[in-house]
Structure 1
Amino acid sequence: MKIAEFGVESWLNQWEKSAKYDISQSTIDSMTITELLKMTGDDPSVLYDQLSHVKMNYGWIEGSPEFKAQVSSLYDHVKPNQVLQTNGATGANYLALYSLIEPGDHVISEYSSYQQLYDIPRSLGAEVDFWHIHEADNWYPDINELKRLIRPNTKMICLNNANNPTGTLLDKNFLQQVVALAKTVGAYILIDEVYQPLDHPENFTSIVDLYDRGIATNSLSKTYSFPGVRIGWTVASDAVSDLFRKYRDYTMICGGVWNDILAVYILQHKNVVLARNRKLVLRNLEIFKNWVASEPRVSVVLPQAVSTSCVKFDIPETTESFCLRLLKETGVLLVPGERFDLPGHARLGYCTDETTLRIGLKKLSQFLRQFD
């Protein structure tokens, strides 16, 4: 089995710890447990006593009943038994692809998007066709292109909603058109749903609430601000979840006793977490909009209050070399678009803390003046 280097992850693995002003990430400003407890108003001893006294065995293999109940409540028609805990959304995506994709299968993957969704199928021997997104169409793919790509033997359609790195959200009407096409050949639809809009959450619809062969993956890493908990999940039909169980035994045993307890606590208090994050995202989005409007060498298709964006640079240099010089000379970190096969662009994570965002944008503008 051979697989391509994971572009965005290898870049961040190499450079993120050396950044002074990290505006590359797609997580909404991560929190400490102390910050979370201050927001909830709970007595910290209750959670800490639970963590201190729980037996450190394997715990609940698929996630605790409390975890499964909390996750299932995020969807319209999902039962707890359809939820499987994973090691983040990366683990969830891998589980779904590993369980379903075989050599010779035909897979259609949104492109550009999160690299797992096309390079894992290719590494498993599938034939992968790219369903391109288009900047001129607000980074939407063309449904007519999907009609041309789909085949009688298409096994799966892979999407990232909202998209990483562009932040574009596919609406319910568009997803229903994708479902209608998938039904004609019985294809699965796998959607990584870690980025969700915080300005109008009603605009988001999960694939599992639209299609019986839909598979949703998600985690606490992005919208919920807790990547360090390393907890994600798959949600699928009973039959597909039962299939996942067999393959899951080969990829992980459990998510960890402490991790599960923290995940349950975060989900139990999701309203305060999301309220905090909604305020942060909307405030920072205004700062970001104003900066783009004032910066002549930058343009962007604005995201819908999700935590990632993709800026376009008007510069006479590759964005990879530009971003590396930017980091080394100013301490500001972006992800160059080459890491998403989008040269000329960069992922800009505007949902860091406000101070880091303001300083990072100011230094980025100053650095861009060398091209004037």
Structure 2
Amino acid sequence: MARLPPFRIEQWMDEYQPTAKHDLGETCSASLSIDGLLALSENKDATASDILNSAAIQDYGEIRGTTALRNNLSRLYSTKVGTPLAPDNILITPGAIAANHLVFYALIKDGDHVICHWPTYQQLVTVPESLGAVVDKWHSKPHDNWLPDFEELKAMVKDNTKLIVLNNPQNPTGAVLPKSLLVKIIDFAESKGIILLSDEVYRPLFHGISPMDKDFPPSILSMGYNNTIATGSLSKAYALAGIRTGWIASRNKDVIEKCQLTRDYTTISVSKLDQAVASFALSPDTIHALLSRNIQLAKTNLELLDRFIVKHDEFCSYVKPVAGTTAFVKFERDGKPIDAVALCKAVHEKAGVLLLPGDLGFGDEFKGYVRFGYVNQTAIVKDGLEELRKFMRKEFDDLPVCE
């Protein structure tokens, strides 16, 4: 296993987030306290002590995840599908980042070929590379609403292609792979015996596409192919990043067993307290109000961002997100992309606004792009955009451009 390169996004956030006054870089829905979670729940008799069961012994607990939490996840993945997903086909992990790492470590070996939907979270490329795989990027097209070309995917597959990695909804663009495209991907992968991993950490935060839409994207586990894996967590769509609870779910029980064998060398189990909060959040009494709160935040705040971009359309452009918490905005001047690293450093120093430079986070092909996180508290987003507006008026013309 090769040494992993620096994780550029996480290093940027670690350096600049603590001192930001206006956080437009946060990719989680505005985080909740346990009291806030209780206030949303229909179970008005529940207390924090009930959730945490303060009398319970804090041992390792159920190694693969608590029965209550896996039952709740099973219910979510089994809605409107012909074959329910058994709780035993779910493995609880410390966040989706650990889930993805375990999948790669359990399945990928030196010499394998992996195809990764791009742009996406750096981990989904660098971890399989570190394990000796050759990773090719399946590029989304900004001129086509960030859709990738299915014919390009077919041409990329080799005899040793082991895994196709999807990110749906997509970080950083907020785009989705529509159902019609997913059907093609599933049929093709099945014909080749290729495993599909879908990082669904931003699911089900859909705010610009309706479940009634014919192209509304179902979970990868709902599409009839056994060799599919979904990873997720409570961080993004469920506003509970601090409890560090994620999961691996698969129709293929052998995949879960391989991941569990690998997991024995890492975390052993996940905190019982964290899982108790997660289980309460995903319970029928709570989940609907929780998602409604976060979807409404996304809709309200995205309109604020959209108005900002329209007002500055001589410098800014984007494909309006339909899901998730992030938008990928391109800044230009005189037809040339702005130096996004310089922009993000200057706006942090002079306006206290946190943003992420797209080329730093996702590669040189995204010069001029900046990732916004817009599902923080509305007041934070509103104030941050106002400070950014002032910065644009006074400082933008002095920023360097990329040649």
User: TM-score, normalised to structure 2's length?
Assistant: 0.89
SS in 1 for 2:53: helix
8 Å CA contact retained: 1:229, 1:263:
yes
Q: Aligned partners of 2:124, 2:48: CA distance in 1, in Å?
A: 40
Task: Tell me which residue corresponds to 2:356.
Answer: 335
- The letter for the 2-side match of 1:355 is A
Q: What letter matches 2:187 in structure 1?
A: A
CA distance in 2, matches of 1:322, 1:368: 10
Aligned to 2:141: 134
Unaligned 5+ runs, structure 2: 79-83, 398-403
Moved more, 345-354 or 70-79: 70-79
Distance 1:18 1:29 in 2: 18
Specify the SS of the correspondent of 1:159. strand
Partner-residue secondary structure (3-state), 1:320: helix
Partner of 1:94: 101
- 2:169 — aligned with what? 162
CA contact (8 A) 2:198 2:220 kept: yes
Q: Match of 2:401?
A: none
Q: 1:198 aligns with which of 179, 202, 206?
A: 206
Q: How does 1:239-250 map to 2 (within 5 A)?
A: 239-250=254-265
Partner of 1:308: 326
User: 1:305 offset after TM fit, Å?
Assistant: 3.6
Candidates 235, 244, 256, aligned match of 1:230: 244
Once the 2 structures are TM-superposed, how far is the Cα of residue 138 of structure 1 from its aligned partner? 0.9
The code of the aligned residue for 1:329 comes to: K
Q: 1:49 offset after TM fit, Å?
A: 7.1
Equivalent AA in structure 1 for residue 7 of structure 2? F
TM-score, normalising length from structure 1? 0.96
Does the CA contact (< 8 Å) of 2:116 and 2:136 recur in 1?
Answer: yes
1:231, distance to aligned residue in structure 2 (A): 0.2
CA apart distance, 1:336: 0.7
Q: Which segment is superposed worse, 213-222 or 295-304? A: 295-304
Which SS does the other structure have where 1:61 is aligned?
A: coil
2-side partners of 1:204 and 1:74: how far apart? 15
Q: Is the 8 A contact 1:21 1:331 kept in 2?
A: yes
Deviation at 1:352, TM superposition (A): 0.9
Instruction: Name the SS for the 1:103 alignment partner.
Output: coil
CA distance in 1, matches of 2:182, 2:6: 30
The number of residue pairs the alignment matches comes to 372
Cα offset, 1:250, TM superposition? 1.3
Give the one of 69, 72, 75 matched to 2:74: 72
**CA offsets 1:227-267 (integer angstroms, 9 cap, x no match):** 00100000012121122121111121111110111111111
1:86-127 CA distances to partner (integer Å, 9 max, x unpaired)?
A: 010001100110000000001111121111111101000001
Which deviations, in whole Å up to 9, do the C-alpha atoms of 1:63-103 show, x marking residues without a partner?
A: 11111100111113311010000010001100110000000
Q: Sequence identity of aligned pairs in percent? A: 36
| Alignment match of 1:181 (pick from 169, 188, 191) | 188
Equivalences for 1:345-364 in 2 at 5 Å? 345-364=369-388
- Structure number with the higher helix fraction is 1
Contact 2:168 2:202 in 1 (8 A): yes
For structure 1, list consecutive stretches of 5 or more residues without a partner in the other structure.
Answer: none
Residue 286 (str. 1) matches residue 303 (str. 2): yes
Contact 1:153 1:185 in 2 (8 A): no
Counterpart-to-counterpart distance in 1, 2:110 and 2:218: 31
1:267-317 residue CA offsets vs partner (Å, 9 max, x unmatched)? 111111011112211111222222211113111111104211111111464
Once the 2 structures are TM-superposed, how far is the Cα of residue 46 of structure 1 from its aligned partner? 5.7
Structure 1 runs of 4+ aligned residues shifted over 3 Å read 43-51
Q: CA 1:327 to 1:371, structure 2 compared with 1: closer, same or farther past 3 Å?
A: closer
Q: Does 1:60 align with 2:57?
A: no
- TM-superposed CA distance for 1:48, in Å, is 4.8
CA distance in 2, matches of 1:151, 1:180: 16
Q: Say if 1:117 and 1:159, in contact at 8 Å, map to a contact too.
A: no
Shift of 1:201: 5.8
Q: 1:351 to 1:368 in 2, by over 3 A?
A: same
**1:23 maps onto 2:24 in alignment:** yes
Stretch deviating more after TM superposition (17-26 or 292-301): 292-301
Q: In structure 1, what is the Cα distance between the partners aligned to 2:174 and 2:116?
A: 17
- Is 1:322 paired with 2:343? yes
- Within 2, Cα distance between the matches of 1:51 and 1:281? 33
**What SS class does the counterpart of residue 191 from structure 2 fall into?**
helix
| Separation (CA, whole Å) in 2 of partners of 1:350 and 1:49 | 30
Q: Report the residue type matching 1:206 in the other structure.
A: S
Partner of residue 209 from structure 1, selected from 207, 212, 222: 222
After superposition, the Cα gap between the structure-2 partners of 1:201 and 1:249, relative to the gap in structure 1 and judged at 3 Å, is: farther
In structure 2, what residue type is equivalent to 1:255? V
Q: 3-state DSSP class of the match of 1:311?
A: strand
Rounded to whole Å, the distance in 1 between the matches of 2:48 and 2:316 is: 49
SS in 2 for 1:218: strand
**Aligned position for 2:400:** none
Structure 1 distance, partners of 2:338, 2:282, is 44
Where 2:166 maps in the other structure, the secondary structure is strand
Q: 1:56 to 1:365 in 2, by over 3 A?
A: same
1:307-342: CA deviation from partner (whole Å, max 9, x where unpaired):
111111114641011101110111100011021122
Q: Residues 17 and 48 from structure 1, CA distance in 2 versus in 1: closer, same or farther, beyond 3 angstroms? A: farther
Alignment-mate amino acid for residue 252 of structure 1: T
Cα gap change, 1:104/1:150 in structure 2, threshold over 3 Å: closer, same or farther?
Answer: same
